[in-house]
């Protein structure tokens, strides 16, 4: 019970830190800082959706960008081709991604986890190539369409709109991650054969996690179109899929808030280093390599800086109490 309370308290503190930090940025930051921060929070939602598969279920999707891009493209197609409003287009996009992810996830998970990883990458690449060659939905250029209502014209208002939706989605993901359902997913990750022996349909558990992850990645993709006033083929790029993996690894896939910290670090590094050198990907690769080598499990993992710092504080407090008793 005490362990659960400690975890809940730690999660509450970390959540409050991230919440307050991004609220302050929204209130006092200039347009450039808010533009970068809006990308960070969108990618935080995207990384959290990925980590539901990667960290909790042990599934590595190398093509998670498919659903990020699907959200943006389906949303813009509903608006530009079918003349839907913002809310109906967003709802239709979210409803459409569920059967799509169910179909593709069921097919990909018929194979081993290694095959699953490469199949997801192949599916993402295939969809991207089809969009490249389809001029009616933008082709290589993408779809640019300014659709924001007047009340979202201000960059600060738009930031808080995106922020509110991201926070709501992350809270829902957190509730999923502390539920018995998430414990079952962790059981699938640790010992799927034992769960199969106990009568659990492991494939259905994996497919369900895949669909939920796709849904939240889809929402992140929709929010990205709000930020960019359009959708582009780069949203389906392999680099976007790799970013989800990098954020989870650097931040720590074993911690709920690890991917959020990872999204901050990776996005800030990308924006800062890309202005300094054309080899910024190489530098980010070195950071990931060092993190994986010196902090197995990421910065917020069991061997990470955060956990070591908390352990050191607890040791000091325990030593102080013992000294006071003496």
pLDDT digits (tens, 9 = 90+) for 27-71: 998 988 999 999 999 999 999 999 999 989 989 999 999 999 999
- Is 183 inside any structural domain? yes
Judge whether residue 325 has pLDDT over 90: no
Query: Looking at the 3D structure of the chain, how many domains does it have?
Result: 1
Judge whether residue 276 has pLDDT over 70: yes
Average pLDDT value for residue range 273-288: 82
- Is 304 inside any structural domain? no
pLDDT digits (tens, 9 = 90+) for 157-211: 999 999 999 999 999 999 999 999 999 999 988 888 888 888 889 999 999 999 9
What residues make up the domain containing 124?
14-249
Task: Give the dihedral of Cα atoms 159, 163, 230, 262; nearest 10 deg.
Answer: 110
Structure tokens that stand for 102 in this block? 């169910």
Lowest-confidence segment of 30-39, 116-125, 250-259 by average pLDDT: 250-259
Structure tokens that stand for 35 in this block? 């533009």
Average pLDDT value for residue range 81-99: 94
**Which region, left, alpha or beta, applies to residue 64 given φ > 0 means left and ψ of -120 to 50 means alpha?**
alpha
More confident residue, 304 or 127: 127
- Is 109 inside any structural domain? yes
Judge whether residue 320 has pLDDT over 80: no
- Is 209 inside any structural domain? yes
- Is 324 inside any structural domain? no
């Amino acid at each position: 019970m005490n362990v659960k309370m400690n975890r809940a308290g730690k999660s509450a503190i970390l959540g409050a830190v991230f919440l307050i930090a991004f609220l302050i940025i929204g209130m006092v930051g200039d347009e450039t800082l808010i533009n970068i921060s809006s990308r960070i929070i969108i990618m935080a939602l995207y990384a959290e959706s990925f980590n539901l598969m990667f960290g909790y279920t042990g599934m590595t999707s190398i093509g998670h960008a498919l659903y990020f891009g699907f959200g943006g493209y389906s949303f813009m197609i509903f608006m530009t081709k079918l003349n839907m409003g913002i809310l109906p287009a967003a709802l239709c996009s979210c409803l459409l991604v569920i059967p799509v992810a169910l179909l593709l996830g069921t097919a990909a998970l018929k194979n081993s986890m290694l095959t699953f990883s490469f199949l997801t990458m192949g599916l993402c690449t295939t969809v991207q190539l089809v969009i490249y060659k389809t001029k009616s939905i933008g082709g290589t250029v993408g779809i640019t369409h300014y659709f924001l209502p007047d009340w979202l014209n201000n960059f600060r208002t738009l930031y808080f709109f995106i922020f509110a939706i991201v926070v709501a989605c992350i809270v829902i993901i957190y509730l999923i991650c502390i539920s018995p359902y998430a414990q079952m997913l962790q059981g699938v990750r640790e010992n799927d054969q034992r769960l199969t022996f106990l009568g659990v349909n492991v494939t259905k558990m994996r497919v369900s996690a895949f669909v939920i992850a796709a849904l939240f990645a889809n929402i992140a993709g929709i929010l990205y179109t709000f930020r960019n006033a359009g959708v582009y083929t780069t949203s389906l790029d392999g680099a976007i899929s790799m970013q989800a993996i990098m954020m989870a690894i650097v931040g720590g896939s074993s911690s709920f808030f690890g991917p959020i910290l990872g999204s901050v670090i990776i996005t800030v590094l990308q924006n800062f280093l890309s202005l300094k050198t054309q080899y910024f990907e190489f530098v980010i690769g070195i950071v990931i390599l060092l993190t994986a080598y010196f902090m197995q499990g990421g910065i917020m993992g069991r061997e990470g800086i955060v956990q070591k710092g908390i352990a050191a504080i607890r040791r000091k407090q325990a030593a102080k109490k013992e000294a006071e008793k003496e």
